[in-house]
Amino acid sequence: MSFARRKKDLARPVDIIGVGASQLGMVCDTPGMLNMTTRELWSWAASEALNDAGISATEVEALFVGNMIGEHTEGQYHLPYVLAQWTGLGLGQESWRSAVRVEAACASSSQAIRQAVFAVASGAYDVVIAGGVEVNNAKWTWRNPGHPEKMSNLDRVQAIYGHYDQGWEMPQSAMLDHILSQWLIAYAKRYGLSQSELQDAMDARLVSNCANGERNPKAYWNRSLEEVAAEAGFKAVSDFLRSPKYNPTTCWPVRRWDAPRRCDGAAAAIICASDLTHCFSGRPIHYLGTGNIMQTSGLSDDMWTQPFIVKSGQEAFDMAGVSPEDIDLVEMYDYGPAEYIIPLEDLGVFQRGETAKALSTGRTLFSGDKPVNCSGGTSCGVAVGAIGAYCLFHLVKQLRGEAGGCRSASGSRTGLIYDCGAGRDAVIHILGG
């Protein structure tokens, strides 16, 4: 038996009617976040999203939360019933809800949002809350509740490395930073970039992300790169970024500053059936389509393109009924320069081989014609299990024209989110104003 595959669509239209996000930062260091846990961070994001939507927590029918390493940082399983209490959803003798956690490495919150969208589109629920939360750099246990302590680097690496196949990739030392460096080398060779030109493109990405992120009040890192370079005694940012002392190579050609700036945080969205959005005051943004393709390894014969990213984009564009040229701006989980350049070209946001030029000519800046990461991207902070929800938060604000200082100048109507779990699980969301 077999069947002809049909075009995929949401069974009924779905809107985002509210978004919220905590500050990004470190619960052990950042003023305003000190001693917070997943609970307070989630409350922060959820209450902002509920207020933004103009909806009471009592009206929310279900909760979908993404979280990656909570077992390691808080010893907590079954996080959703805990977070439901910290969302004002009750749970008890007089209040009954569905609440689930979704874990998909760095795509955890994107997958939670997808499941929430599908739940509303199916008619099972009319209005739900979805998002993600991560305490990435601190841990505590029941012996000392609410007293997070900084994790050692090794402890953190071990927790995060749970995303590798423990039966093959871990024993085999098949590390993602290596594989992503191979993407970059393959890209440079494909398009005839010299080693120096490749590093120019990597520098330009950092400059673009940081110039955007400087204007994002929720960013963990929003200092000017020029200032940082000047403090270290460099007149030019490029000299600072090429300095082995200040920017040592980690996995060639990738350097310390190219890596995601890991931190803690939470973001949430209220997802509602489109025919009910008039009941609430939040300005709806349409959830037009989504795509998700899982691949085992991030390896391919031609590493300069990743078929799983191409296919996830095709799925999302088909569902949304838009083409790559219609995308006005992008928020993405850019896990280093490889997962910036390759997805932007595989999704058709930029022409093949053109991303370096787009970066160097300012097209990706908030003031450019194709802004990428007005939020600052991972250069300005990433809470792994919440990153997709942060992208959604920023994109909704942009499409509503409410993004303040980092508002894009392009009169954006349609936006795309790229999230990816461990370099193999691409999730695309397309939103329209």
**Residue 87: which of 16, 157, 20 has the closest Cα?**
20
Helices (H), 303-348: 307-320, 338-346
In terms of CB distance, is 182 or 410 closer to another protein? Answer: 182
Q: Pick out residues in 183-202 that bind another protein (CB under 8 A).
A: 185-186, 189, 195
Q: Which residues contact 324 (CB under 8 A, 6 or more apart)?
A: 313, 317, 347, 348, 349
In terms of CB distance, is 98 or 250 closer to another protein? Answer: 250
Q: Is 178 in the site for another protein (CB under 8 A)?
A: yes
Q: What is the DSSP string of 46-59?
A: HHHHHHHHT--GGG
In terms of CB distance, is 12 or 161 closer to another protein? Answer: 161
Q: Is 57 in the site for another protein (CB under 8 A)?
A: no
Q: Is 425 in the site for another protein (CB under 8 A)?
A: no
Radius of gyration of the chain from its Cα atoms, rounded to whole angstroms: 21
Which range, of 11-19, 246-254, 316-324, 349-357, touches another protein by CB under 8 A? 246-254
CB atoms within 10 A of CB 36: 26
Q: Is 373 in the site for another protein (CB under 8 A)?
A: no
- Contact in structure between 210 and 225 (CB atoms under 8 Å): yes
Which tokens in the block code for residue 178?
A: 């290596």
Please identify which residue in 57, 91, 100, 174 interacts with another protein, judged by CB under 8 A.
174
Determine the size of the site formed for another protein (CB under 8 A). Answer: 32
Q: Is 94 in the site for another protein (CB under 8 A)?
A: no
Q: Is 175 in the site for another protein (CB under 8 A)?
A: yes
Place of tokens 């939040």: 282
Phi/psi of residue 420, nearest 5 degrees: -155, 130
424: left (phi over 0), alpha (psi -120 to 50) or beta: alpha
Write the DSSP symbol of residue 24: P
Q: Is 182 in the site for another protein (CB under 8 A)?
A: yes
**Residue 342: which of 194, 200, 190 has the closest Cα?**
190
Q: Is 203 in the site for another protein (CB under 8 A)?
A: no
* 110-149 footprint of another protein as x/- string (CB under 8 A): ----------------------------------------
Sequence letter at residue 176: L
Q: Is 66 in the site for another protein (CB under 8 A)?
A: no
How distant is the alpha carbon of residue 192 from its chain centre?
30
Q: Pick out residues in 153-172 that bind another protein (CB under 8 A).
A: 154, 157-158, 161, 167-169, 171-172
Please identify which residue in 28, 91, 276, 299 interacts with another protein, judged by CB under 8 A.
299
Report in angstroms how near the CB of residue 397 gets to another protein at its nearest: 34
Please state, in angstroms and rounded to a whole number, the distance separating the CA atoms of residues 362 and 367: 8
Q: Is 297 in the site for another protein (CB under 8 A)?
A: yes
Which residues of this protein are in contact with another protein, per CB under 8 A? Answer: 154, 157-158, 161, 167-169, 171-175, 177-179, 181-182, 185-186, 189, 195, 249-254, 297, 299-301, 303
